[in-house]
Amino acid sequence: MDYRKFLFDRYRTAQGWGAIDLKAADRWTRPYDTWLHGWFPSSRDARILDVGCGPGFLLRYFSQRGYTRLSGVDLSPEQISAARQYCSDVTLGNAIDYLQRHPAGFDLILAIDIIEHLRKDEVLEFLAATHSALAPGGRLIVQTPNCASPWGIVQRHSDFTHEVGFTPGALAWLLRLMGYVSYEFRETGPIIRGAKSFVRWVLWRMLRACWSAYDLIETGSAAGAYTRVFIGSAIKPVASPGTEPKSGRSTAMPNAAAAINR
């Protein structure tokens, strides 16, 4: 049995998710404003792709901020049906195949909670494909469970379709390998909305200080991210004249292909 096709064909049903709740979805607006601050294209005409777009909440988020050239791709027919409420350019299909068909086609690619569902060879192929699909100077944003978190093992195994786990350092190493530069990562901790969330934020900062101190004492360095998931960002560099392949494919592709085929 192709277990991934079996599960992703009915992913919302398998997860026990009910009807789309826009009010609940809009609660993510302020967190994304905070966690992704400074990573968005300045031009509202930028080409943005949400890989694994799910029910389309991020597409809706960007649309509400005035971005007009939005695209999405997802394996789940259930998710695609929901996403098309917010974006007409949403494709049902394999993300790697889609990316490879659009060389230098996007200025921003988002991969939120995607790479942990891929096998190791697929992770390399996926990152190479995103590099190829980005225009020079374009940005990749990746969110994934954080194995450096005290709750990392829980997040790693919280979904039957999770194949691999990452720390911020492990993701940085892979992105450099695939030709990305200017990597940075951020925690996804509590966002202050009122008195209760302020208390949560203060308590979180206290706990974080304890975890960081423990890390520093034991290893001599701190992981820097202790939330259950983290978000990373990296840039496809602007190639020097004459170095960018005419096909638009990333210069990392041959090395990636060799690594995958070993």
- Each residue's pLDDT tens digit, 121-169: 999 999 999 999 999 999 999 999 999 999 888 888 887 778 999 999 9
Q: Which residue ranges make up each domain of the chain?
A: 3-189+227-261, 193-226
Average pLDDT, stretch 186-199?
93
Q: In the predicted model, is pLDDT for residue 242 greater than 70?
A: no
Determine the topology of domain 3-189+227-261 in CATH.
Answer: Rossmann fold (3.40.50)
34 CB-near residues (< 8 Å, 6+ apart): 191
The DSSP letter of residue 17 is -
User: What pLDDT digit, counting tens, does each position of 75-131 carry?
Assistant: 887 778 778 888 889 999 899 999 999 999 999 999 999 999 899 999 999 999 999
Looking at residue 253, what is its pLDDT? 36
Burial class of 251 by CB neighbour count within 10 A (0 to 12, 13 to 18, 19+) = middle
Q: Which of 190, 134, 227 is nearest to 126 (CA)?
A: 134
Q: Which of 135, 141, 73 is nearest to 109 (CA)?
A: 141
User: pLDDT band at residue 243, thresholds of 50, 70 and 90?
Assistant: very low
Average pLDDT score over the chain: 84
Average pLDDT, stretch 52-81?
88
Looking at residue 257, what is its pLDDT? 35
Q: Which of 131, 140, 144 is nearest to 255 (CA)?
A: 131
| Residue 37: C-alpha distances to residues 31, 40, 258 (Å) | 10, 7, 36
The listed range with the strongest mean pLDDT (2-11, 71-80, 168-177) is 168-177
User: pLDDT band at residue 26, thresholds of 50, 70 and 90?
Assistant: confident
User: pLDDT band at residue 251, thresholds of 50, 70 and 90?
Assistant: very low
Q: What is the DSSP string of 229-255?
A: EEEEEEEPPPPPTT-S-TT---TTHHH
Query: How far apart, in whole angstroms, are the C-alpha atoms of residue 5 and residue 77?
Result: 11
Average pLDDT, stretch 198-203?
95
Average pLDDT, stretch 37-50?
95
Looking at residue 241, what is its pLDDT? 40
> Phi and psi for 176 in degrees, rounded to 5?
-65, -40
| Residue 28: C-alpha distances to residues 23, 36, 57, 188 (Å) | 10, 12, 9, 11
Q: In the predicted model, is pLDDT for residue 225 greater than 80?
A: yes
User: pLDDT band at residue 228, thresholds of 50, 70 and 90?
Assistant: very high
Strand order from edge to edge, sheet including 69-74 = 90-92, 69-74, 47-51, 106-112, 134-145, 229-235, 181-187
**For the whole model, what pTM was predicted?**
0.83
Looking at residue 79, what is its pLDDT? 79
User: pLDDT band at residue 56, thresholds of 50, 70 and 90?
Assistant: confident
Angle at 237 between CA 223 and CA 59, to 5 degrees: 75
Query: How far apart, in whole angstroms, are the C-alpha atoms of residue 173 and residue 150?
Result: 21
Locate 85 and state its tokens: 């409420």
Rounded-to-5 percentages of helix, strand, coil across the chain: 40, 20, 40
